[in-house]
Amino acid sequence: KQEVTQIPAALSVPEGENLVLNCSFTDSAIYNLQWFRQDPGKGLTSLLLIQSSQREQTSGRLNASLDKSSGRSTLYIAASQPGDSATYLCAVLTTDSWGKLQFGAGTQVVVTP
């Protein structure tokens, strides 16, 4: 069974620093990996989706990398802002899971002014 782990569980950085969030997974037979953001009391907002054939995906200040062989993905957020404070979740779609995302527990990020 696919296991998805996000370390650390919580992270606090001063404004302007780059954020590095990690996601690891145990089964490398994946279709894609998605990164989401969740604000307190809200639903999930999709940030980036990386297909299994891709090594990275970029959107604005966000860059996500994928290394299937080592079972890792990293989300980089450049020049962090207080508005980036949220919980970030990664989710993996394995080839035998038929649309069933497997989520990590998330990393709670606080960006201090």
Does 5 sit near other proteins (CB under 8 A)? no
* 99 touches other proteins (CB under 8 A): yes
Tokens of 78: 């450049």
* E strand intervals along 1-113: 4-5, 10-14, 19-25, 30-38, 44-51, 56-59, 62-67, 72-77, 86-94, 102-103, 107-112
Q: Pick between residue 83 and residue 113 the one whose CB is nearest to other proteins.
A: 83
Closest separation in Å from C-beta 38 to other proteins: 9
Which residues sit at the interface with other proteins, rule CB under 8 A? 31-32, 34, 36, 42-46, 49, 51, 89, 91, 93, 98-101, 103-106
